[in-house]
Amino acid sequence: MKYSVIRDKSFKFAVRTVNLYKLLNNERKEYVISKQFRSSGTSVGANEREAINAQSSADFIHKLAVTQKGM
């Protein structure tokens, strides 16, 4: 598998998102916003992987646009 800057950065972002979620959830007792933040922060990587497996160039661009909305 080829190295991908987007994959690397989205993974690191997801890890940071989950760590912040844990802080908010455990120490600050913030549940609703922290769960929403975790979901949107980790969806970037999932959408990026969807884009890699796109069926066409137009589909690839569309899926990356969806990823950008989540950031």
pLDDT at 19: 95
Q: How far is CA 41 from CA 20, 32, 55, 65, in A?
A: 10, 14, 25, 15
pLDDT at 9: 92
pLDDT digits over 6-65, tens only? 889 989 999 999 999 999 989 888 888 889 999 988 888 888 888 888 899 999 888 888
Name every residue whose Cβ is closer than 8 Å to that of residue 16 and which is 6 or more positions away in sequence. 41
Q: How far is CA 26 from CA 14, 37, 39, in A?
A: 18, 15, 17
70 falls in which pLDDT band (50, 70, 90)? low
pLDDT at 14: 93
1 falls in which pLDDT band (50, 70, 90)? low
CATH superfamily of 5-70: 23S rRNA-intervening sequence (1.20.1440.60)
Query: For the chain, what are the domain ranges?
Result: 5-70
